[in-house]
Amino acid sequence: MGLIQYGIEKAGIPTISITHLADLSEKVRIPRALHLRFPLGRSFGRAGEQDLQRKILLDAIYYLREMTVPETIIKLPYKWKGKHK
Amino acid sequence: MVKPIFGEIPITKFTKPATEAVFALVTTAGVHLKTQPIFDVEAGDPSVRFIPSTAEENGLMISHTHFDRGDADRDINCVFPLFRLKELAKEGIIGGVAHTHYGLMGYTPNTSPLVDETIPLILKQLQEDKVDAVILNPG
């Protein structure tokens, strides 16, 4: 995913990604990312969690503007509860 | 398998008001229309599926096999929140939803075809659709 994000950003279109593994994203080096300690396959929350899906999208839109230094990763405050971590 | 990107990492400032901006989604969780070919996961399929914004929730599926799809199979918005994004557009919070969104499969050990063929196809379509910003998530 890093290469795709890099390619789009380099072409002049701002990008932001969700990452589940901040260490990996740091190594890959990407323009902007939001870190969520959610399992893979649940980047925007669990099935039916429409409010959370919406909040994470709104966060992405907000931080797209706020993050102006490349390779910035911001951790979102949402906690994953229960199994499948 | 981590392949770092070398050199300077670009950053393009997002200056357009969100209320006027057109957003596209890119996911590597293996999402596509049920009518499109499934990803050849074990072959490291580097291709992309163009998903129209007119897609319906029950018209989409996931063919990536390397993560637990327990939630995403029931609610595609867990990995591809097109339907939440459309709500934001309808409410005027964002300017619009792009005509095309992008489903890829994240397991691509050989990245050359991704870089040489797939990414240029994505860039061309993003430009044709006049997309202002892109939100990505992995799989």
C-beta neighbour count of A81 within 10 angstroms = 7
Domain housing B79 = 18-137
The residue behind tokens 């992995």 is B138
First to last CA, chain A: 21
Residue B118 within a domain = yes
Residue B13 within a domain = no
Main-chain phi, psi angles of A35, to 5 degrees: -95, 130
Cβ–Cβ contact A83 with B under 8 A: no
Minimal Cβ distance to B135: which of A2, A30, A60: A60
Q: How confident is the model at residue B1 (pLDDT cuts 50, 70, 90)?
A: low
B127/A1: higher pLDDT: B127
Provide the phi-psi class of B95: left if phi over 0, else alpha when psi is between -120 and 50, else beta: alpha
Residue B111 within a domain = yes
Give percent of chain A above pLDDT 90. 80
Are the C-beta atoms of residues B84 and A44 closer than 8 Å to each other? Answer: yes
User: For the residues A55-71, what does the mean pLDDT come to?
Assistant: 97
Using CA coordinates, name the residue in chain A closest to B15: A65
Residue B59 within a domain = yes
User: For the residues B125-133, what does the mean pLDDT come to?
Assistant: 98
Question: How many domains are there within chain B?
Answer: 1
Q: How confident is the model at residue B2 (pLDDT cuts 50, 70, 90)?
A: low
Minimal Cβ distance to B11: which of A9, A20, A53: A9
Residue B126 within a domain = yes
Residue B73 within a domain = yes
Residue B49 within a domain = yes
Distance (Å, whole) CA B58 – CA A53? 18
Residue B12 within a domain = no
Residue A75 tokens, joined: 């951790």
Using CA coordinates, name the residue in chain A closest to B112: A3
* Chain B 34-53, residues with CB within 8 Å of chain A CB atoms: none
The yes-or-no verdict on residue A83 having pLDDT over 70 is: no
